[in-house]
Amino acid sequence: MTSSYSLSSIRNSTKLVVHNSYLFFPRQRLCVLSNEIQFHKKDFLVLKPQISSTFSFLRLKKSSFTHPFAALSSFAESDGDKNFEVKSHQENAISSEDEDDLPGMAQAFHISSSTASAISICIALAALVLPYFMKSLGQGLAFKYKILSYVTILFGFYMAWNIGANDVANAMGTSVGSGALNLRQAVVMAGILEFSGALLMGTHVTNTMQKGILVANVFQGKDTLLFAGLLSSLAAAGTWLQVASYYGWPVSTTHCIVGSMVGFGLVYGGAGAVFWSSLARVTSSWVISPLLGAVVSFLVYKCIRRFVYSARNPGLAAAAAAPIAVFLGVTGISFVALPLSKTLNLAVGQAITCGAIGAFVVDRIIRGQLGHLLAKASSKEPEPETTDTKNIGFLSDIAGPKGTQLKIVYGVFGYMQVLSACFMSFAHGGNDVSNAIGPLAAALSILQGGLSAADIVIPNDILAWGGFGIVAGLTMWGYRVIATIGKKITELTPTRGFAAEFAAASVVLCASKLGLPISGTHTLVGAVMGVGFARGLNSVRSETVKEIATSWVVTIPAGATFAVIYTWIFTKLLSYILCVN
């Protein structure tokens, strides 16, 4: 039986209210199933709070349809069991009227509107005040150059804020959507890891011609124009990211910057200012990234179903497979992302050591937290197989485990999913923060007269500033894109979420080494689609996919258009400001 869903457009004005749940999903209507298993806190530690007997509700205004959220068991049984009981608790839905008027951030975190407003005000005040204490503001500069430096730093924060609201949410979206983490846990973990990655691993050298898109010689001796172009690229990319985040569209921040630089270079430097071959490689990732992500996640999820679900004891099979998967994942991510030795053999050894440590730690955690369930599963006689395993093909539809086996399988993959999301967040903070602070550092160097070469050194306070902006954006608006990744493309469980994250990380790591034009955002979206396709074509919501694909195609032209408009405005303002004595 395929669960029935009625999905409205992301732009649909219908309001949705979620109670006692992990996440606010704006403008989405679900028919949700209520087969539910009670879990003890010790089973999942911090990964999943105890499920109470009071169900969560979705209430549709001006409608009589009210359904509880799908529980862990109903997700698993939807893989094989055909019988569900849908219960309606309409009387409890009446008490939800007071939350209709809460802002999105308050609903997402289940806090009062005054608390949400206080958090937003504190972030805004910090963004306005902290630049005065940054060394990069410029010491000994004329007053007008200090003002320009201050404005430039704010533009950098705006871009970083939007990266946090959109791009960072991708790493945690599957974990929240599957229930492995609630939204508060995801934001806290991602905030710490993103900031740490940006400060500790963020690149200290950037190129003024971002991503190899523009020809540097065209703008030599035109520092004012180049400054306006860098500033406009931050404003243009931030503007489009904010629009995309508002509607919950996961777009690539790299593509936003590329589009902005292309628009600026084409209009103010001519066709010869753009490396068109580099642009072609970027646009090709629209197809390559989601396709590779979908294929790999499809295969990973089918492997889980074939070799874990069909095992005589799925829980023990999952516990045995977890250290192997963690070892491979941690080794690969460590080799690519961490600053290891420059000697290949030594670097490989260090990466393998990190992988072995990660596998050992995860195995100990699983045995410690789920040991009583594993012992219970081991003491029981394996359930008789209802299907001849010899006749099960790799693509066969296999029923999911139930009862204790289900708790173990979802507990194991929940831990692995959280671990993979943490690694992705840390690596993202170190890699993609350059999208915001690269143009920022180059623009500040122009103002301070230090732009003498293509490479610009990024100070530590700018790295920390970018990390702060990313965390602020994730906190205030990250729930919007998390909702799209976690729920609106396809329904996720810990096994499906792990398959998507593991596939996306693997594709990005391999592509980075091979030099393929890959977008991490596009790859993850494709991976989520892949696990949906593994359950059937009807499991992927085509309307959401169409909107996301459209936003991808529009990203570069939108960034280019905004950049041209902003550059025209900034050049006019700069000509006036710099002429004033």
Task: Quick: pLDDT tens for 45-101.
Answer: 333 333 333 333 333 333 332 232 333 333 333 443 333 333 333 333 333 434 444
Joined together, the tokens standing for residue 570 give 């900034």
Radius of gyration, CA atoms only, the chain: 25
Are residues 463 and 437 in contact, defined by beta-carbon separation less than 8 angstroms?
Answer: yes
On whether the CB atoms of residues 425 and 189 are closer than 8 A, the answer is: yes
Quick one: pLDDT at residue 400?
63
Residue 352's alpha-carbon distances to 7, 362, 413, in angstroms, are 45, 15, 22
- The amino acid sitting at 409 is V
3-state secondary structure 173-222: HHHHHHCCCCHHHHHHHHHHHHHHHHHHHCCCEEECCHHHCECHHHHCCC
Structure-block tokens of residue 190: 């991602």
DSSP element (H, E) containing 17: strand 16-18
Collapsing DSSP to helix, strand or coil, 151 comes out as helix
Across the chain, mean pLDDT equals 75
pLDDT, tens digit, 9 for 90 and up, residues 410-460? 889 888 888 878 877 776 777 677 777 888 888 888 887 765 555 667 788
Interhelix angle 276-304/520-533, rounded to 10 degrees, is 30
Alpha helices in 248-402 (DSSP H): 253-269, 276-304, 314-337, 344-379
Instruction: Answer yes or no: are the C-beta atoms of 558 and 260 closer than 8 Å.
Output: no
| 213 — pLDDT class (breaks 50, 70, 90) | confident
Lowest mean pLDDT across 237-246, 340-349, 408-417, 542-551? 340-349
Mean pLDDT confidence for 494-504: 88
Closest CA to 492 of 437, 446, 532, 443: 532
DSSP label of 517: -
Q: Where are the beta strands (DSSP E) in 20-79?
A: 29-30, 57-60, 66-68
Q: Is the pLDDT of residue 386 over 60?
A: no
Confidence of residue 241 (pLDDT cuts 50, 70, 90): very high
User: Is there a contact between 500 and 524 (Cβ–Cβ < 8 Å)?
Assistant: yes
